[in-house]
Structure 1
Amino acid sequence: MEEFAGFPASDGGYGGRDGDRDGPSSFYVDSDGLQRQIDELASFSDSPAPSVTRVLYSDKDVQARRYIKGIMNQIGLVICEDAIGNIFGRWEGSEAGLGAVATGSHVDAIPFSGKYDGVVGVLGALEAISMLKRSGFQPKRSLEVIMFTSEEPTRFGISCLGRLSLTDHKFKLIISNVINSVWSNCIQIGIVTAIAAPASIKVEFEGNGGHAGAVLMPARNDAGLAAAELALAIEKHVLESGSIDTVGTVGILQLHPGGIPNVRDIDEKRRNNVIDKVHQSAIDISKNCGVVLSEFKIINQDPPALSDKSVITAMEFAAKQLNLEYKLMISRAYHDSLFMARISPMGMIFIPCYKGYSHKPEEYASPEDLANDVKVLAMTMVRLSLQ
């Protein structure tokens, strides 16, 4: 079990059950219990271990939901579930009318992924609440753990499906998750300052390739070559943006119906400028290759999100009090928090994972890093709850 340093008396007046500056001995992270829960949740899978597959609303997903609600019930949270399937576990504060401090993530998993992504954000949050309850802490604002429905696009091809029903809630939101990139060994916590948002487009070229040998090159109008040229143009325009934060990929390349590029950035104007250049390149390429640009469709064009300064400050305070090395960083992955930022202050905590793996059976976070995550999360919730 990982001992927690406790809260200084100057932080909102909370110094432990008896006002002890170092906090009560009951303030610890149950690392063994947390790892056991992670392993048990991983057993609800439609693919063999060590991989995890949990598609939205499948039998295994329903079992996982039941498991999460069981833990919420064990630690005394008030549980409710909305029409789309988001699950809420609330610890009522002394001033329950104030906006809650919410945290959480998701437990659905794409086929043959790992057991940490998203799951740490839910089970880690429940352990943080358990830790605060053991310590005798009493929240001012209610504390709430949210298990979002379908962060992954496994059922309907739509990411972050659960956010569609969360338009009227008022939260100070924190999302806990796993880092999907490698950092220096000295970095123990990542504090997210911004979340990049993608713009996805579908491009369709129509040409006439003909027989592989019989049709000579001057007479060929190859749609596949036009798509390949556009893929290179996407790379060129992304690199021309002048920012390392602009990323572009070709996610699917098929002769029928075409290419689906994805461009994302934390700067919406810069990202959209790349999309405009890609569109112009598609027009130019179609003329040069003698093919028809039959479709250039923007599938989605979500705005990026910035973490709220008050949440960042609370996270930095927690990391400093715990003597943890931390780094301000950008999330380039899609998260529920990208959309939650539209209705409430938002922040994210990242922790290191093995080789930066995510969505792979090999993804792994050490017990020490998991404990650091829970500690920072708990201390951040305390600070925000008392504001």
Structure 2
Amino acid sequence: MSSRFCHCSFLHLLIGLFIFGSTSAISAHENEDPTIKTMEAFSGYPIHESNSLISDFVSSLSVETQTLQNQIDELSTFSDSPAPSVTRILYSEKDVLARRYIKNLMGLAGLSVREDAVGNIFGRWIGDEPELPPVATGSHIDAIPYSGKYDGVIGVLGAIEAINVLKRSGFKPKRSLEVIMFTSEEPTRFGISCLGSRLLAGIETLANNLKSTVDGQNISFLDAARSAGYANDQDDLSSVFLKKGSYSAFIELHIEQGPILEEEGISIGVVTAIAAPASITVDFEGNGGHAGAALMPTRNDAGLAAAELALAVEKHVLESGSIDTVGTVGILELHPGAINSIPSRSHLEIDTRDIDEKRRNTVIEKTHQSATTIANKRRVKLSEFKIINQDPPALSDKLIIEAAEAASKELNLTYKKMISRAYHDSLFMARISPMGMIFIPCYKGYSHKPEEFSSREDITNGVKVLALALAKLSLN
């Protein structure tokens, strides 16, 4: 056995030993643990010197920050709206070009690249024990109209750079490491959020519904996918499904999309849970009429019914007593939409979310009760109250939380545990494997707008924590 191989094997072992409890290894040495003696005899290195070796490994983690920023800037040019905004819609020409860009970077990082039938892209670094379930990381690059260039992108380009960081340090994973670029996390084109990760999680109803789903221009999902080079010669999307346990862990790097980390001057957020949304559509129908001629006591105003329900949503959310319960009426449309016409129809789209599923569902039930009461009181018809989706929240895995915390400590970065009020592909990856997330600060908490921004320092910190957490998880 060469001395180089011996040293690498020992460093490998050291990192594994020091993942979640270096003090126990040192204590065991001091007590003349026979196992430690055996490892010392095998390796030729005394375990008590391992602290400096671990420190050397951590200090070797170097992020090419300028290169990464250049990649973020270049990817933002694949957009259907002018800078500084980014618009990148599923299966559009710009989306296809951006996908090609990501695959090229994966290839340059030495990853083995594959794509599935809907365009989820996977780049794998083969580990020493490739038969073990890999550790995965990643996010999305699609962007809602006139948004920013960091949402999702940090979790894809940052993940590729994290792999490069580990390679430059000389690290070799035991479990393979895989970067995933998820298809269509945003619901922009077909109204389905986290489309790629939902399918990976094996949601059969979605796979079946996509066969007949069309966009606003009446283009079917399958035709759009085929125009981008996917779903060729097949309508069955079940080939995308992954079995539970396909990964040993999944960890996603993301901007916070909220102001807490920046306001508190904290470098890293370790996510403990992801709040899940429920989306509801509501329609009221009244008689309408002339704004001047119809008397107030006899009106059946669908617009006022909608306005009253919007306020009821706020009331029911606040009644939960938890800051983690939120509700938003993001769309309120009136027909015919004329200043001198009483609305005869109104349409609302409501988003409510929480990390507590029961508490969130109570808001939905109360909202339904209020919609019925309001309709009766205002003598309008509640023609629809439809729950579009009602996903369960997800808790981060203890081991992944500990890996992110340990990485932050070893890198001397401040961190705090926090929940994610926005949902991410991680919400559905939790159905496949243990899941966790790492947040970095973003300017004023801005997201989904051109002003979205994270500093180079914060991005670098996030990539380092991700890299070190991946190393820990790959050796687990």
**Common fold by TM > 0.5:** yes
**Partner in structure 1 of residue 224 of structure 2:** none
- Which has the larger helix fraction? 2
**Partner in structure 2 of residue 250 of structure 1:** 329
TM-score by length of 2: 0.77
The higher radius of gyration belongs to 2
- Does 2:179 correspond to 1:179? no
Contact conserved, 1:9 with 1:21, CA < 8 A, in 2? no
Residue identity opposite 2:83 in structure 1: A
* Alignment partner of 1:79 out of 107, 113, 128: 113
- Does 2:348 correspond to 1:314? no
Contact conserved, 2:61 with 2:464, CA < 8 A, in 1? no
Q: What's the secondary structure of 2:383's corresponding residue?
A: strand
Contact conserved, 2:151 with 2:254, CA < 8 A, in 1? yes
Q: Quick one: structure 1 residues 195 and 137, their matched pair in 2 at CA, closer, same or farther if it must change by over 3 Å?
A: same
**Partner in structure 1 of residue 372 of structure 2:** 283
What is the rounded CA distance, in whole Å, between the counterparts of 1:346 and 1:174 in structure 2? 6
Shift of 1:24: 8.3
- Deviations 1:260-296 (CA, angstroms, capped at 9, x unpaired): 1111111111111111111111111111111111111
Q: Provide the identity percentage.
A: 69
Unaligned runs of 5+ in 2: 1-10, 19-48, 202-241, 335-344
Runs in 1 of length 4+ with deviation above 6 angstroms?
none
Shift of 1:363: 0.8
Alignment of 1:359-370 (within 5 A): 359-370=448-459
* Alignment partner of 2:175 out of 138, 141, 156: 141
- Does 2:332 correspond to 1:298? no
Residue identity opposite 2:75 in structure 1: L
**Partner in structure 2 of residue 12 of structure 1:** 16
Alignment of 1:90-239 (within 5 A): 90-167=124-201, 168-169=242-243, 170-171=246-247, 172-183=249-260, 184-239=263-318
Contact conserved, 2:279 with 2:387, CA < 8 A, in 1? yes
Over the aligned positions, Cα root-mean-square deviation in angstroms equals 1.9
Residue identity opposite 1:197 in structure 2: A
Q: Quick one: structure 1 residues 20 and 328, their matched pair in 2 at CA, closer, same or farther if it must change by over 3 Å?
A: closer
Contact conserved, 2:183 with 2:194, CA < 8 A, in 1? yes
- Deviations 1:99-145 (CA, angstroms, capped at 9, x unpaired): 11100001111111111110000000001000101111010000000
What is the rounded CA distance, in whole Å, between the counterparts of 1:350 and 1:20 in structure 2? 24
What is the rounded CA distance, in whole Å, between the counterparts of 2:315 and 2:200 in structure 1? 38
What is the rounded CA distance, in whole Å, between the counterparts of 2:304 and 2:58 in structure 1? 67
Residue identity opposite 2:258 in structure 1: S
TM-score by length of 1: 0.94
Residue identity opposite 1:218 in structure 2: P
What is the rounded CA distance, in whole Å, between the counterparts of 2:384 and 2:87 in structure 1? 34
Contact conserved, 1:8 with 1:22, CA < 8 A, in 2? no
* Alignment partner of 2:422 out of 308, 311, 333: 333
What is the rounded CA distance, in whole Å, between the counterparts of 2:122 and 2:469 in structure 1? 19
What is the rounded CA distance, in whole Å, between the counterparts of 2:413 and 2:146 in structure 1? 33
Shift of 1:186: 2.2
- Deviations 1:8-62 (CA, angstroms, capped at 9, x unpaired): 985315899x957412875311001100110111111111111111111111111
Shift of 1:164: 3.5
- Equivalent pairs counted in the alignment come to 380
Q: What's the secondary structure of 2:175's corresponding residue?
A: coil
